[in-house]
Every structure is written in C-alpha cells, then in structure tokens.
Structure 1
Amino acid sequence: MTPHPYKNKTGLARLVQALRNSTSGMRAAWRTESAFRQEGTLILALVPLAFWLGHDGMQRAALAGSALLVPVVELLNTAIEYTVDRVSLEPHELSKTAKDMGSAAVLLTLVLCAVVWLAILLPRLA
C-alpha cells in the first residue's frame, strides 16, 4: 500500500503536496475526460463574462460560482466512475446506479448554472 501523501508533512509542505495532488488530478481529467475539457473551455469564457456582466459582487459571484461548480462536480463524477471501475469492471446494478447518480449530479449542476445565468441576464432583455 502506498503511504499517505501527507504523512509527516505539516504547514507549508502539506499545502505544497496538496497543490501537487490537485494539479495532477486536473491534468489527468483534462487528458482523459472530454466533458471536463468542454466544461473547462466553457468556464474560460464564462468566468470573465461573469465579471463583465454582473452588476455587483453578488451577481458576479453567482455567475462565476455557478460556472465553476460544473467542472468541480464533473471531477467528483469522474472520481466516482474511476473508483467503481477500480473495484470491478463487471456489470453490476449498484455500479451502474453509482455512475448514473454522478452523471445526474453533473446534469443538475449544469441546470443550476443555466438558471443562475438566465435569472440574472433575462431581466435585462425585458
């Protein structure tokens, strides 16, 4: 078994190791997950737009936050899928359900993002 990456690390060393692990995870997701690449590309446009279109800090936070939440949930969904596949590639109803629930979480986050953007931007068009 691999030793825990934070064992015997404290303070700055622990933070640096956590940053390395996070960066490694995002790189792996970018390399292997087309949905993560698509969502990542989308937030590169949406986050700057959020700061341009938001009238105040709350609107900017809602617009940017809802956009940034999508790849966060995608990463969690991917982690679930990888974990299920690590346990067994054999078809099983619980495995399917776990993966479907992760996918549903991504869908709900996309809906949330759309609702936030529409709620803030549509009144301006009326």
Structure 2
Amino acid sequence: MKPGHTGWRHLVHSTRYSLKGLKAAWRHESAFRQELTLCLLLLPLVWWVGDGPVEWILLLGSCAIVLIVELLNSAIESVVDRIGPERHELSGRAKDLGSAAVMLSLLLAGLTWLLLLGQKFFG
C-alpha cells in the first residue's frame, strides 16, 4: 500500500488485499478449501444446533477460528518456503508449530460442536 493512504482509501486497499489473500488461499491451499467447505456445510445447522445467540456465535466462531488459523498457518508456510527449499530445523519447527495451531483450532471447533449437539439431544 502506498504511504499516505488513510481513511476510506486505506479501507478500500486493505479490503482488496484481504480478498486477494482469500482467493489465493482458495486457489493454492487444499486444507483451506476443505475447511471452508465444511464450515459452509455446517452453516445451516448453526441455528438448529444452537439455542440462542450465544450458542450460535460459539458455533460460528469455532468455524471462523479454524479458517483464521489455517490462513495464518498457510502464511507461515509460504514465508518459510520463500526462504528456500533446504531443510532447516527452525523452518521445520515453524511449520510444525503452525500445524499444531491448526490442530488445536480443529479440536476446539469439534469439541464445541459435539458439546452443543450433545446438549441438544441429551439435555
């Protein structure tokens, strides 16, 4: 972004870059495509599973967290890959840490959905 972009101009440019990032994630990251597809499939169930706005936001938020963490993990992997193809302990650690973050976000989302589903069926 050019220096001096403020206000609406900054917002327009920032939005453009964000959409470009989402498009790149969809195009180049199969895990992001899978997770987004799952979130979109679960979306209609949010209002059936959740009992009110707090539970709806928990269900939606757990899906959003997975997507956010996946985007950050993909960014880390891209930067590491940009540095070079050779194996390095720190590069491997960075990728492993990003992967661990995705795994934890998936566990959180799964637990959220399972607990609220269980509450719905078993009260």
Partner of 1:96: 92
Partner of 1:123: 119
Partner of 1:51: 47
The answer for unaligned runs of 5 or more in structure 2 is none
Conserved? CA contact 2:49–2:116, under 8 Å: no
**Within 5 Å, which residues of 2 pair with 1:18-97?**
18-97=14-93
Offset at residue 52 of structure 1 (A): 3.0
Whether 2:103 is the aligned partner of 1:107: answer yes
Q: Percent identity?
A: 49
Runs of 4+ aligned structure 1 residues displaced above 3 Å come to none
Give CA deviations for 1:57-94 in whole Å, capped at 9, x if unaligned.
10000001001111110000000001111112210011
TM-score (norm 2): 0.94
Conserved? CA contact 1:6–1:14, under 8 Å: no
Give CA deviations for 1:88-126 in whole Å, capped at 9, x if unaligned.
221001100100000000000000001111111102222
Give the root-mean-square deviation of aligned CA atoms.
1.0
Q: Which has the higher contact order (CA 8 A, sep 6+)?
A: 2
The answer for unaligned runs of 5 or more in structure 1 is none
Conserved? CA contact 1:36–1:75, under 8 Å: yes
Distance 1:112 1:43 in 2: 14
Offset at residue 6 of structure 1 (A): 4.5
Conserved? CA contact 1:36–1:71, under 8 Å: yes
Question: Secondary structure of 2:87's partner?
Answer: coil
Q: What is the count of residue pairs matched by the alignment?
A: 122
TM-score (norm 1): 0.92
